[in-house]
Amino acid sequence: MDRLTRIDMVCKLLEQEPNDVFLNYTLGLEHNAELNLVDAETQFKKVIELDKNYIAAYYQLGKLFESQLKNEDALIYFKLGLEKAKELKNNKSANEFEEAIFLLED
């Protein structure tokens, strides 16, 4: 199945469940893979609006901005994600955010 077909499928599922966090996150990943960065950003931000503790969305936003050389924006989301990871006692994610921050600030 090609990516555009998957995007269409996820969009149809979202019509039935527009606030499903996982489906919104999946759509963001699919848009990101298609280099449709504006839609990817919109989806990842929607995920965070739906669930402020969905740590992966912060990471994906950081990586999305980093790929566009928008390092200040990337750092904002990496640092927000780090705070959430620490709040949730998710050490693995906290370490990943710390590494991403280190690499950008280096």
- Domain 3-105 CATH class label: mainly alpha
Model confidence pTM above 0.75:
yes
What span, in angstroms and rounded, lies between the C-alpha atoms of 69 and 52? 25
What residue segments make up the domains of the chain, in order of their start? Answer: 3-105
Does residue 78 have a pLDDT over 80? yes
The pLDDT tens digits for 11-57 are 999 999 999 999 999 999 999 999 999 999 999 999 999 999 999 99
List, in order, residues 6 or more apart from 23 with CB less than 8 Å away.
10, 13, 14, 17
Distance CA 3, CA 10 (A): 10
Longest alpha-carbon distance in the chain: 45
Long-range contact pairs involving 76-79 (C-beta distance under 8 Å, separation at least 24): 78/104
Per-residue pLDDT of 80-103, as tens digits, reads 999 999 999 999 999 999 999 999
Share of the chain above pLDDT 70, in %: 98
Crossing angle for the helix pair 91-105 and 55-67, to the nearest 10 degrees = 20
